[in-house]
Amino acid sequence: MLFLTPTATVAVVAILGVGAVQPTLPALTAQQTEQMGTAPAALARYPTEAEIADLRQELEQKIPQLLESGFYTDLRPPEEQQQRAEFVAAWMAVDSAMAQGRSETIAPFLGEWGAIAESLAIFPTGNPGQVCIIESYLGGSDFYLGQVINGQIYTDIHQVLVLEGDFLASFFVYEDEANLYAYSHPWTLVHPTASSRLTEQYPEVITQFQAAGCLTQGPD
């Protein structure tokens, strides 16, 4: 799982401690800042550009080991892979136009990414570059927003989500050390109301999802 609260256990695949310099982030527009909103249990800061570069290298080196572990095996049948690919392609055409040439396309991130005992579901919205995120893990589930900036998602709880092939990694800083946690092989998105776990145990996640205008279908 990802870091969620100051008292939560952080299960990470790789931990890399680097410098504690505040990051120089890409400038957000007033609209993007408003869209980011707030989320509970936010981390103190984003990883710096140097930390992100180091974590990317660490992720690349770890991927063969992750695949060999058996926890990141691609279990999707061909029809599932095709369905998700078609969903991504549909959004690629639309959100690339909305981004107007900027590196804010959300399409490659869309889907429900799996890990050892967790998942990270990334949904589209009608706002350029913005995504909704539902994180599910043993003992909980959380909702937050993210904004794609320069090909990476900056979440409103100070994570940075990056893509590397069939892997998605969350980069974050806990106690001034940069960490990563990996997910892989995304499945097609389903509406949160289809999950009995969310409807029965975490209805507030569904309420937040609906209030934020998150989408589960392809673009009109």
170-191: pLDDT as tens digits: 999 999 999 999 999 999 999 9
Q: Say whether pLDDT at 205 is over 90.
A: yes
Residue 204 maps to a domain: yes
Confidence of residue 82 (pLDDT cuts 50, 70, 90): very high
Residue 4 maps to a domain: no
Q: What is the pLDDT of residues 46-80, one digit of tens each?
A: 999 999 999 999 999 999 999 999 999 999 999 99
Domain that holds residue 203: 14-211
Taking residue 209's Cβ as centre, other Cβ atoms within 10 Å add up to 22
% pLDDT > 70, the chain: 77
On whether the CB atoms of residues 171 and 55 are closer than 8 A, the answer is yes
- In this prediction, residue 44 carries a pLDDT of 84
Residue 3 maps to a domain: no
- Calculate the CA dihedral of residues 165, 168, 174, 176 and round it to 10 degrees: 30
Residue 2 maps to a domain: no
The domain total for the chain is 1
Sequence-ordered list of residues with C-beta below 8 angstroms from that of 178, at least 6 positions apart, any chain: 16, 17, 18, 47, 48, 51, 54, 55, 171, 172
Residue 58 maps to a domain: yes
Look at 42-56, 97-111, 201-215 and tell me which has the smallest mean pLDDT: 97-111
On whether the CB atoms of residues 31 and 141 are closer than 8 A, the answer is no
- In this prediction, residue 128 carries a pLDDT of 87
Residue 217 maps to a domain: no
Residue 5 maps to a domain: no
Residue 196 maps to a domain: yes
Look at 20-34, 60-74, 84-98 and tell me which has the smallest mean pLDDT: 20-34
State the number of CA atoms in the 13 A half-sphere of 129 facing the CB: 23
Q: Say whether pLDDT at 202 is over 80.
A: yes
- Distance, in Å, from the CA atom of 140 to the CA atom of 202, rounded to the nearest integer, reads 8
DSSP state for residue 62 in the 8-state scheme: H
Tokens of 139: 């003992």
φ, ψ dihedrals at 138, nearest 5°: -60, 115
Q: Say whether pLDDT at 9 is over 70.
A: no
